[in-house]
Amino acid sequence: MKTMKSLLLAMLTVVAFTTMSCSEDDNNNNNNNAAANLLAEELRNTAASGTWRVALYEDDGQNETSDYNGYAFTFAADGMLTATNGTNTVTGTWSVSVDSSSSNSSDDDGSDDSDDVDFNIFFASPPDFEELSDDWDIVSRTDTRIELIDISGGDGSIDYLTFVKN
């Protein structure tokens, strides 16, 4: 009888420990996901408030910022992205997304956080603007500056993109 009670107590302890461990992990994931969703919403609101210019675009060590001189970028709330310099207008799309994949995911930014907030830009043409098309990771964000990075999964090259509010 004593052995049976000891066995039952041991099984209940294992079940309780496993339940607490899973629950704690779930809470951490929920907290991380909530923080990522908040960051994503703040980033959407910031980008959609006014016009922006490219302060830096570095493609694998090559500074190509001058390709965007004179362009004002407008990130519309409906996902439309417009860049205009008064003569030429280039249109594309943009979004901010949260990738809540498994905790073993490999984010471009090297973070071990399972929630990856991406600033997505897509231009179909012209070629200079196509280069901005990517799922950028957020380095930092203020009301007047958005700093982004992309680390290529193929060759490990690093691109930097910084928008500054006009």
* Region 41-165: CATH code: 2.40.128.270
* Average confidence score pLDDT of the chain: 81
Q: What is the pLDDT of residues 72-88, one digit of tens each?
A: 999 999 999 999 999 99
Residue 108 has pLDDT above 90, yes or no: no
pTM of the model: 0.74
Q: What is the pLDDT of residues 15-59, one digit of tens each?
A: 443 444 444 444 445 556 888 999 999 999 999 999 999 999 999
- Paired tokens of 22: 């899973």
CA distance 149 to 119: 10
Q: Choose between 157 and 103: higher pLDDT.
A: 157
Type of residue at 165:
K
pLDDT at 116: 86
Q: What is the pLDDT of residues 93-105, one digit of tens each?
A: 999 999 866 443 3
CA distance 55 to 40: 22
Task: Answer yes or no: are the C-beta atoms of 125 and 94 closer than 8 Å.
Answer: no
Q: What is the pLDDT of residues 114-148, one digit of tens each?
A: 348 999 999 999 999 999 999 999 999 999 999 99
Burial of 102 (0-12, 13-18, 19+ CB in 10 A): exposed
CA distance 113 to 107: 8
Residue 60 has pLDDT above 70, yes or no: yes
CA distance 49 to 45: 6
pLDDT at 51: 98
26, containing H or E segment: helix 2-47
pLDDT at 153: 79
Domain ranges (residues) in the chain: 41-165
Of 68-72, 78-82, 155-159, least confident by mean pLDDT is 155-159
CA nearest neighbour of 119 among 38, 33, 44: 44
